[in-house]
């Protein structure tokens, strides 16, 4: 059931690289986890009850590792990121989120607030909604430092340093500017500066280039790439763009209906995706060598969280489904260097 791409078909990773023109990452040695997520459940209120959005996921991110979380809208990617940061007080969370050995879900809010920025930070897809239009850029970049007791001159020095590192031209002058005076790409650099000025160990980037054009996307991703390598920063990148994943991430996690269905090294995933959903996502990537063919798509739509089917949530859309798929939720099993939650992988379904 595992498909290997032939030389004639072309390597999807190479095609993605040609599309995005972002240099591929260098190979990295295995590193100890900085973040370990164990059986994370995220529930949100709905009428008189709660609905499970994220359904008991497990994953880890190593020090200086870049991991991409991919999947269609509604898969639970952003909810996962918000849960790691504990940004939404309406969420009901269970499981464990260990950052450097500290369980973030067990911390009182005051202690969690101290860790936001100092150890874990997040940037969102639309920089204009992340910035306060009434505050200068300088005040916004230095705000988290001032809250932590850093003097005003030192906070300004650090703000200038991070803006220079992110290549904001005339940084000293631009500290007195307001968000509307910046282009979209420059606003995203400012948002990155706010996240990085406190020197966190983990950066969560939730579709940080979605609102930008392709040229500016490349510039922003190059900056995240360079800064993360220079600082030894771990990155969790949430994106729909597999071309970005191919050339930025070390590992890829495929999420569907609140569950992680496949985790692979990025080279392994692009050469040989195992889960039918991962195969479908990869097949839908535009191919510059097949312009005359109809673009592939995954049929159907993801289920709503409160209407998940029994068994594998992907089974209604899967061409390989068997009777067991519609009854039993598949467990994640190792397949080579990957882990896959599919009955095809554990030998439980004849197709």
Give residue 334's pLDDT: 94
Q: pLDDT (tens digit, 9 = 90+) per residue, 107-137?
A: 999 999 999 989 999 998 888 888 999 999 9
CB 264 within 8 A of CB 91: no
Start-to-end Cα distance in the chain: 8
Give residue 20's pLDDT: 40
Give residue 3's pLDDT: 39
CB 332 within 8 A of CB 341: yes
Give residue 292's pLDDT: 60
CA distance 178 to 257: 39
Classify 97 as helix, strand or coil.
Answer: strand
- What is the value of pTM for the model shown? 0.86
Give the residues of the chain that fall short of pLDDT 50. Answer: 1-25, 349-351
Give residue 16's pLDDT: 42
Q: Please spell the DSSP secondary structure of 263-294, one letter per residue.
A: EEEHHHHHH---SHHHHHHHHTS--TT-TTSP
Quote the strand ranges of 24-82, DSSP E: 33-46, 49-62, 66-70
Domain-wise residue ranges, the chain: 127-199
């Amino acid at each position: 059931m595992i498909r290997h791409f032939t030389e004639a078909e072309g390597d999807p990773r190479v095609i993605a690289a040609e599309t995005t023109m972002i240099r591929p990452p260098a190979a990295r040695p295995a590193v100890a986890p900085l973040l370990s997520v164990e059986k994370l459940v995220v529930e949100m209120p709905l009428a008189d009850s709660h609905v499970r959005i994220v359904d008991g996921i497990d994953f880890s991110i190593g020090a200086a590792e870049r991991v991409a979380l991919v999947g269609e809208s509604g898969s639970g990617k952003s909810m996962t990121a918000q849960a790691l940061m504990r940004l939404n007080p309406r969420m009901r969370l269970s499981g464990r989120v260990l950052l450097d050995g500290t369980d973030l879900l067990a911390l009182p809010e005051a202690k969690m607030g101290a860790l936001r920025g100092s150890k874990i930070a997040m940037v969102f897809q639309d920089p204009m909604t992340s910035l306060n239009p009434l505050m200068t850029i300088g005040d916004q970049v230095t705000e988290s430092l001032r809250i932590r007791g850093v003097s005003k001159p030192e906070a300004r020095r650090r703000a200038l340093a991070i803006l220079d590192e992110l290549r904001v031209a005339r940084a000293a002058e631009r500290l007195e500017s307001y968000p509307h005076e910046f282009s979209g790409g420059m606003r995203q650099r400012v948002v990155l500066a706010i996240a990085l000025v406190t020197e966190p160990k983990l950066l969560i980037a939730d579709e940080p280039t979605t609102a930008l054009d392709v040229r500016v996307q490349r510039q922003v991703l190059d900056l995240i790439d360079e800064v993360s390598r220079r600082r030894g920063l771990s990155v969790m990148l949430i994106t729909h763009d597999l071309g970005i994943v191919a050339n930025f991430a070390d590992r890829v996690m495929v999420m569907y209906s609140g569950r992680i269905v496949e985790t692979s090294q990025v080279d392994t995933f692009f050469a040989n995706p195992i889960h039918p959903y991962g195969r479908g996502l990869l097949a839908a990537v535009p191919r510059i060598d097949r312009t005359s063919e109809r673009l592939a798509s995954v049929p159907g739509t993801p289920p709503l969280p409160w209407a998940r089917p029994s068994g594998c949530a992907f089974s209604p859309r899967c061409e390989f489904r068997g009777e067991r798929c519609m009854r039993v939720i598949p467990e994640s099993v190792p397949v080579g260097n990957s882990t896959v939650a599919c009955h095809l992988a554990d030998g439980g379904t004849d197709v």
